[in-house]
Structure 1
Amino acid sequence: MILYKQFTFDAAHFLTKVPKNHKCKQLHGHTYHLTVFVEGEVKEEEGWVIDFYDLKSAVNPVLNQLDHQLLNDVEGLSNPTSELLAIWIWRKIKPVIPQLKKIELKETPTSGVIYTGE
């Protein structure tokens, strides 16, 4: 079974490796939408794959490092594209939630990435 939980956070960034006249070279912000997917067997005793509380407790400290921050100043995110941000988030969550299957990160309602690990 695969379950998911959705999160949001707000952050600013600018892209460092785009041409000088590219609009994303300028400081701007997004309300990011993160969906975390966990896969596993339903545990007979509890009746769930993972407690949503435990999932939230694992993800929130990671998002607290990003929320209302300039992503370029976060260690390991000097060029914070959606792709690199998704990899960064994955690497923080996977050790805590080994059943992590994939994450979906949207920077706008119509644009985002899906990452399934390395």
Structure 2
Amino acid sequence: MTTRDTPAALPGRVRITQGFTFEAAHFLPNVPETHRCRRMHGHSYRVDLALEGPVDPVTGFVVDFFDVENAFGPLLKQLDHYCLNDIAGLENPTAEIIAAWIWTRMKPLLPTLASVRVYETPMSYAEYSEG
């Protein structure tokens, strides 16, 4: 087996994104009683983790997608098919708060994490990044 040469250095930075899905229920306790999201309901959530950095000249990766999957897997299991309100830190689980909650847990594991995007619907998302 032979390997092909990878360019010694690619100029600039590359952003990669890996998506995940989970099903969960929630309600928003801090909205008015008449707001439809005050009642328990569910979503088919999608989470996009974006990582940014230089391409490694040996592997050709910014980060191996397999490593991203392994890092996020335990958190995904904590979210999938649960009531998000029952999870510490997600008592008011808006998309914005979920994105920030995921960020604080993933950034130490994935130092090149650039943003976390949480979709509640195919057309509605919140995106968290530092700065």
TM-score class normalised by the smaller sequence: over 0.9
Question: How far 1:36 moved relative to its partner?
Answer: 0.6
- 1:61 is aligned to 2:74: yes
Secondary structure of residue in 1 paired with 2:31: coil
Correspondence list, 1:1-40, <5 A: 1-40=14-53
Structure 1 gaps of 5+ residues are: none
CA contact 2:100–2:116 (8 Å) conserved in 1:
no
Question: How far 1:2 moved relative to its partner?
Answer: 0.6
* Counterpart residue number, 1:106: 119
CA-based RMSD of the aligned residues comes to 0.9
Work out which of the two has the higher radius of gyration on C-alpha atoms and give 1 or 2: 2
Secondary structure of residue in 1 paired with 2:127: strand
Whole-Å separation in 1 of the counterparts to 2:63 and 2:53: 8
- TM-score scaled by structure 2? 0.87
CA contact 1:90–1:117 (8 Å) conserved in 2:
no
Instruction: Return structure 1 stretches of 4+ with deviation > 6 angstroms.
Output: none
Aligned length: 118
Secondary structure of residue in 1 paired with 2:46: strand
Whole-Å separation in 2 of the counterparts to 1:21 and 1:87: 27
Identity %: 45
Question: How far 1:103 moved relative to its partner?
Answer: 1.4
